[in-house]
Structure 1
Amino acid sequence: MAPEANPFGRRYWEDRYAAPGLAWSGQPNPVMVTEVGLLKPGRALDVGSGEGGDALWLARHGWHVTGIDIAATALEKARAHAEADDPKAAARIDWQQHDLTAWSPKRQGFDLVSSQFMHLPEPARTTLFRSLATAVAPGGTLLVVGHDADVDDLSQRRKHLSGLTYSVDDILAAIDGEDLRIEVAESRSRQARNRGAGSATVHDVVVRASRPHSARAV
């Protein structure tokens, strides 16, 4: 069988999520909470929803969420966790399995499109970010967060992401021409747990953009 073009394709993630316990913390991404917390709830698209930490947080805060992931195992874990933890919020989440290199969301179909640490090789990454930009409804928000390619704090900790990280400029170039108003475009530092003891400072790119209410829905 030929290897997948993307080393982090379906087989990788199915194996990762098949392991006992949680692959991640189960908590929502802090940047997402900070950037989305004051938005009016509506229809949200959580891209690469994993075990559902972001989707469940959004649903608890009144959003109707579509959680997309490539791995059926992740979606099963996310659904089970959400239904056990908060059945009312879980009822507001629609879990869907899609390969984001071959699927595009509905044009202007969401009030929030959130992509947290989606690291794809080019040209798939640019294609994905552009399609996510087109999915933002008038008055809606696009939020893209990822490891910063311009800051060398991943070279030793995450060598496996070589060539898959991106910069603020990469995101802005991908969504250029989609009639979005750029509200945040920066590299932001945070403390992350080390695999050893203590923590380390890492840097994330954060881009938040909105489509004006006056934009014509198509």
Structure 2
Amino acid sequence: MKPVLTPDETSRSFWERHYGKMTTPSDGRPSAMLVRFVAGRAPGRALDLGCGRGDDAIWLAGQGWHVTGADVSETALAAARASAQATGVGSMTRFECHDLSATVPEGSFDLAFSMFMHSPVEFDRLGALRRAAAGVAPGGLLLIAAHGSCPPWSWADPETAYPTAEEDLAALDLPEWRRVFVGPIAREATGPNGVRATVLDTVIAVEKVRP
């Protein structure tokens, strides 16, 4: 169901309301694309853009990464901190509140990733991704997974045309980075009430070239 937005809606007010309605614990499952593209990489420092309730960050911390998660919702971040403590990775994680249209966490990261950072409230998604890319250390990975198709349970209009991975990469303007993978990947996904569907993800995985 498409969310109802108030006339003065902001990213912060929308996502606070969204996460405030959630009464069941997060399922703790990491994103499939994160698991796929991080496999085999040596743990280091990671940045999770739009971390929500922290599933990806907590999973990464369990693999030995030191993870900074950023989200605009303090409600989501409080849940992420509690889950990290409960799973024993509190010392490996840090969760910061950011309006990603304006700021991202500072630092140098061996991995910066964004898993489906879409919003019904307009915000500067490409700007956030560019700022995250600037913080990737030489040899580090920038990983972006986004919707390439509209699943049956999506908020979006069924006719929504999503950018391709090539279009997003061109907009990011990272010509000197090495391509690991850029393109679409189909997968089976489960939505609310157990509804299953084949969805298309657009994936960008690029490494910053060492000098």
TM range (shorter): 0.7 to 0.9
| Structure-1 separation of matches of 2:95 and 2:193 | 34
- Say whether 1:113 aligns with 2:126: no
| Structure-1 separation of matches of 2:123 and 2:191 | 31
Q: Which residue of 2 aligns with 1:21?
A: 24
Q: Which residue of 2 aligns with 1:139?
A: 139
| Structure-1 separation of matches of 2:155 and 2:57 | 28
Q: CA deviation at 1:18?
A: 1.4
Q: Which residue of 2 aligns with 1:36?
A: 38
Q: Look up the equivalent residue of 1:114 and give its one-letter code.
A: F
Q: Which residue of 2 aligns with 1:51?
A: 53
| Structure-2 separation of matches of 1:80 and 1:197 | 26
Moved more, 9-18 or 172-181: 172-181
Q: CA deviation at 1:174?
A: 2.5
- Say whether 1:96 aligns with 2:99: no
| Structure-1 separation of matches of 2:83 and 2:161 | 30
| Structure-1 separation of matches of 2:174 and 2:191 | 39
Report if aligned partners of 2:68, 2:94 keep a CA contact under 8 Å in 1.
yes
Do the aligned partners of residues 138 and 30 (structure 1) sit closer, same or farther apart at CA in structure 2, a change above 3 Å counting? Answer: same
Q: Which residue of 1 aligns with 2:83?
A: 81
Where 1:106 maps in the other structure, the secondary structure is: coil
Where 1:160 maps in the other structure, the secondary structure is: coil
- TM-score if structure 2 supplies the norm length? 0.86
| Structure-2 separation of matches of 1:117 and 1:71 | 16
Do the aligned partners of residues 3 and 36 (structure 1) sit closer, same or farther apart at CA in structure 2, a change above 3 Å counting? Answer: same
Give structure 2 stretches of 5+ with no counterpart: 1-5
Q: Which residue of 2 aligns with 1:67?
A: 69
Q: Look up the equivalent residue of 1:3 and give its one-letter code.
A: D
Give structure 1 stretches of 5+ with no counterpart: none
Q: Which residue of 1 aligns with 2:205?
A: 208
Where 1:54 maps in the other structure, the secondary structure is: helix
Report if aligned partners of 2:166, 2:183 keep a CA contact under 8 Å in 1.
no
The count of residues paired between Structure 1 and Structure 2 equals: 203
- TM-score if structure 1 supplies the norm length? 0.83
Do the aligned partners of residues 10 and 161 (structure 1) sit closer, same or farther apart at CA in structure 2, a change above 3 Å counting? Answer: farther
Report if aligned partners of 2:138, 2:209 keep a CA contact under 8 Å in 1.
yes
Q: Deviations over 1:89-148 (max 9, x none)?
A: 2211111000100113437x1110010001157771221222222121101000000101
Report if aligned partners of 1:167, 1:205 keep a CA contact under 8 Å in 2.
yes
| Structure-2 separation of matches of 1:195 and 1:104 | 30
Where 2:43 maps in the other structure, the secondary structure is: coil
Q: What RMSD, in angstroms, separates the aligned Cα atoms of the two structures? A: 2.3
